[in-house]
Chain A
Amino acid sequence: MPLTNRRILIVEDEYMLAQDLQLELEEAGAIVIGPEASVPSALSRIEQEDRIDAVILDVNLGGQFAFPVADALTARHIPFIFASGYEDDVVKSRYPDVVNCAKPFVARQLLHSLENVLP
């Protein structure tokens, strides 16, 4: 399986959604890093980890845009996909090439999108 032993960081502020994602990814064979619920904790996690293969990034983290996290990932060439509750023009205009998975996720689609961005 493409996700086997891939190190995937989850950045999602809803505990239950984060738990679900973790479950799905682990069932697909991935190693889950996090989950992280806020911009600062996500940034420090990215800083600490030696290897992150891909990231699922919630756009809205406790009322803050996750753009600083997205920028940090772009700078490190770490692929990521957005998980967002809504279609946002701001997101689309700033990151036109990043896939945005609408909530609630269909697990298969999310995993498929994630596989596609993996290097």
Chain B
Amino acid sequence: MPKIREMMKRQQVLADFGDFAIRSEDFDAVLAEACRLVAKALGTDRAKVLEIQEERQQLFVRAGVGWAKDVVGHVHLSMTEASSETYSINAGEPVVSQDITKEDRFIIPAFMKEAGVVALVNVPILVPGRRPYGVLQVDATGPRTFGDDEIQFLRTYATILGPVIDRLRKVDRLHASEERFRRIVETVQDYAIFTTDAEDRIDNWFPGAEAVFGWTADEAVGQLGSITFTPEDRAAGEDKQEIEIARRDGYAANIRWHLRKDERRIFIEGAVWALLDEGGTARGFVKVGQDVTQRKRAETALRESEERLRSAVEVGQLGLWDWNVITGEVHWSDEHFRMEGYDVGEVTPSYEAWSSRIHPEDRARTEAALHQAMERQEEFVHEFRVVHPDHSVHWLSGRGKFDHDAAGRPVRMVGAVVETTDRREWEERQQILVKELQHRTFNLMGMVRSMADATIRSSVDLKDFRTKFRDRIEALARAQRLLSQLRDDDRVTFGDLIQAELDAAGALDASRPRVTLEGPHDVPLRSGTVQTFAMALHELTTNAVKYGALSQPGAHLAVRWRVEDGANGEPWLHVDWRESGVTMPPDGQAPGGTGQGRTLIEKALPYQLQAETTYVMAADGIHCSIALPVSNRSPLESHDASHQSPDPYR
């Protein structure tokens, strides 16, 4: 029963191959075994598998038995030639050639003739979907017939081979893909990549993870993923929470400080993804993260530096701007908003937001200065006014610089601005004071001239003039000294004035109490009245020293004063100058020197200071009263009214 034995043998071959194919995942080994078994089953020495390489329109001898080493894995046959193999593939049927020398259906490749092949059979191998994979070819070096049963066997064999090849090729591709993936993962050094199992125990630890965290794969695998967390985060349960979020949502962000093997802290920006099984349950996790410690530190340093700058800018009350000339985008510091009269963030900073706040009188000039700086590549230095929504006017001093590109076009402008309103006001006040000083100087010169004229008229000779004139100049100087010692809006008080005058006359000698002074010391005088008032008191004092209470041993001078509200509510100072016990010259003979003083009191004070005065020569001495409006401010109270008045001393 040779036929039965043959069949049994072929059945055995099929079983052996099937067994081998199931156990092996090595594609080439399986193909080689397939060739070996089929050659053995058919009793030929040679068999081979040719694989279609479509992109090259070639058949490649992928595996074989009985063939030289330079054939298997080397020889390519063009599919454009009319070979038996191509013929078979195109036909989709086995093709048998009993004697290739007599063959006229196709050309036999040279290497086959050289190898002494005489007969052959080609069976196409189809993978699922009836796509051709290639050809199983059995060759004989002697004339050989292939019976139907052998052809059927080969067809069966090729039919089994197809799915096996298909599976192995998929496995191969999967391996190649896994290999590629592994290589990628292992090449990455900047990212820590590792996987954990369902219980978050590390099962893959790639070189990037080692580079970032410091542990080797041997040290890390088997540990919990929590080892990369800081003790504080572990204590707070952050590690478990993260895994649970990933388990629930499929993903969890992982952006926090982590711990390295050497306990150094690193800031990781990363995430953890759940790896799901078919049922949707997490069978593990993959964690990917980047060490951004340097960037984080740089950011922190930058933020701190910015905060320092901001503090400096705030302390210095600097407004900053940064203008992108190309896009028109402008950045302002908070102070700049305030300087322009905006709430911080109230408007989007822009050239227009800036220019619209400039005082209409300054706008054209300021914009021209800016454009000149832009065009001539000069520094912008300009002082201008801005008007706030509450109509208040503020002086700003700006300083900025343009950046230009290679073509000389302005691209950016950075600058700073400070408010100079106070300085400006101070300067303006200085100017007013300087003018006032001029005014007072000229007035004083006029007064000295008038005084000289009047003194000349009342003097008997030059010696007399000299005494009187020096006296008056000194009185004038005393009044000026009191005024010059004042700060800003201080006031000379009546107490100061009367004391300075009597003191200069030597009348306040404590050992000779001839003078009574009674009244509040700090009655503030209007500064504009001081000079004339002082001259009037001087004339009274001089007169008393020469002819009155201060010239006679038994006489007495009492100066009493008080402040009362006048008719229109403004305070008036009432001074009562009363000499007593004075032996007066006989009737009709006026005491010497009274002329000028009397004119001053009776004429000049009412004229110039709106004073109300009386001047009486009583039997025992002069009695004079002077009432005049005084300042309604306390002597030290500072209240600036100088802007309404051309004369801040009034």
Evaluate contact between B440 and A85: CB separation under 8 angstroms. yes
| Contact segment of B115-123, B416-424, B449-457, B504-512 | B449-457
* A63-B645 CB under 8 A given contacts A14-B447, A104-B442: yes
Task: Decide if B532 touches A15 in the complex (CB within 8 Å).
Answer: yes
Instruction: Determine whether the beta carbon of A86 is less than 8 Å from that of B450.
Output: no
Chain A contributes a number of interface residues (CB within 8 A of B) equal to 25
**Quick one: given A19-B450, A37-B607, A37-B608, are A103 and B445 in contact (CB under 8 Å)?**
yes
B26 to chain A: closest CB distance in Å?
A: 107
Q: Is A99 among interface residues, defined by CB-CB distance under 8 A?
A: no
Chain B contacts for A38, CB-based, 8 A: 610
Whether A63 pairs with B647 at a CB distance below 8 angstroms is: yes
Tell me if A65 and B646 are in contact (CB < 8 A).
yes
B646 touching A60 by the CB < 8 A rule? yes
A86, B451: Cα distance in complex, Å: 21
Q: List B residues 434-465 near A (Cβ within 8 Å).
A: 435-436, 438-443, 445-447, 449-451, 453-454
A14-B446 in contact (CB<8A): yes
**B132 interface residue (CB < 8 Å to A):** no
Please, which residues of chain B bring their CB within 8 A of the CB of A35?
607
Do B646 and A15 touch (CB < 8 A)?
A: no
Complex: how many Å from CA A20 to CA B454? 10
Give B91-114 interface residues, CB cut-off 8 Å to A: none
The answer, yes or no, to whether B546 is at the interface (CB within 8 Å) is: no
**Residue of A37, A60, A86, A103 with highest tally of chain B CB at under 10 A:** A86
Given A65-B646, A104-B449, check contact A16 B442 (CB 8 Å): no
A104 to B445, CA, bound (A): 7
A104 to B435: give the CA distance in the assembly, Å: 15
> Of residues 605 to 644 in B, which have CB atoms within 8 Å of A's CB atoms?
607-608, 610
Q: Among the listed B436, B449, B453, B608, which residue makes an inter-chain contact with A15, where contact means beta carbons less than 8 Å apart?
A: B608
> Which of the residues B439, B447, B647 comes within 8 Å of A16, measured between beta carbons?
B447
When C-beta atoms are compared, the residue in chain A nearest to B434 turns out to be A86
Q: Answer whether residue A102 sits at the interface, using C-beta atoms and an 8 A cutoff.
A: yes
Instruction: Judge whether A63 and B451 touch: CB under 8 Å.
Output: no
Q: Specify which of B442, B453, B528, B608 is in contact with A85 (CB 8 Å cutoff).
A: B442
Assembled-state Cα–Cα distance A103/B446 (Å) = 7
CA distance A102 to B442 in the complex (A): 8
Task: Judge whether B528 and A62 touch: CB under 8 Å.
Answer: yes
Task: Assess whether B443 is in contact with A85, with CB atoms less than 8 Å apart.
Answer: yes
Point out the residues of chain B lying under 8 angstroms from A105, CB to CB: 446
Number of B interface residues in the complex (CB < 8 A): 28
Q: Which residues of the other chain, A, contact B451 by a CB distance below 8 angstroms?
A: 16
Partner of B438, one of A15, A19, A86: A86
Distance in Å: Cβ of B641 to nearest Cβ of chain A: 9
Contacts of B449 in A (CB 8 A): 20, 104
B645: A residues at CB distance < 8 A: 63-64
A16 and B646 contact, Cβ closer than 8 Å, known pairs A63-B528, A86-B438, A88-B435: no
- Nearest chain B CB to A81's CB is how many angstroms away? 16
Instruction: Give every chain A residue within 8 A of B650 (Cβ-Cβ).
Output: 62-63
B175 located at the interface, meaning its Cβ lies under 8 Å from any Cβ of chain A in the complex: no
Residues on A with C-beta less than 8 A from B240 are none
Interfacial chain B residues near A17, Cβ < 8 Å: 443, 446-447, 450
Which chain B residues border A15 with CB–CB below 8 Å? Answer: 532, 600, 603-604, 607-608
CB of A31 closer than 8 Å to a CB of B: no
Min Cβ gap B530→A in Å is 13
A103 touches B450 (CB 8 A): no
Within 8 A of A (CB), among B501-545: 528, 532
What residues on B are CB-neighbors of A102 within 8 Å? 442
Residues of B close to A85: CB separation below 8 A: 438-443
Determine the chain B residues whose CB is within 8 A of the CB of A37 once the complex forms.
Answer: 607-608
Most buried by A among B445, B446, B451: B446
Residue A18 interfacial (CB < 8 Å): yes
- In angstroms, how far is the closest chain B Cβ from the Cβ of A33? 15
User: Could you pull out 8 A-B pairs where Cβ atoms are within 8 angstroms?
Assistant: A14-B446, A16-B446, A37-B607, A38-B610, A60-B646, A84-B439, A86-B438, A103-B443
User: Which A residues fall within an 8 A CB radius of B?
Assistant: 13-20, 35, 37-38, 59-60, 62-65, 84-86, 88, 102-105
**B-side interface residues toward A, CB under 8 Å?**
435-436, 438-443, 445-447, 449-451, 453-454, 528, 532, 600, 603-604, 607-608, 610, 645-647, 650
10 nearest A-B pairs in the assembled complex, by CB-CB distance: A63-B650, A85-B439, A16-B450, A15-B604, A103-B442, A104-B446, A85-B442, A86-B438, A63-B647, A15-B607
Assuming A14-B608, A17-B446, A104-B446, what are 15 further A-B pairs, CB within 8 angstroms? Answer: A14-B447, A17-B450, A20-B453, A59-B646, A60-B439, A63-B646, A64-B646, A65-B646, A84-B439, A85-B438, A86-B436, A86-B438, A86-B442, A104-B442, A104-B445
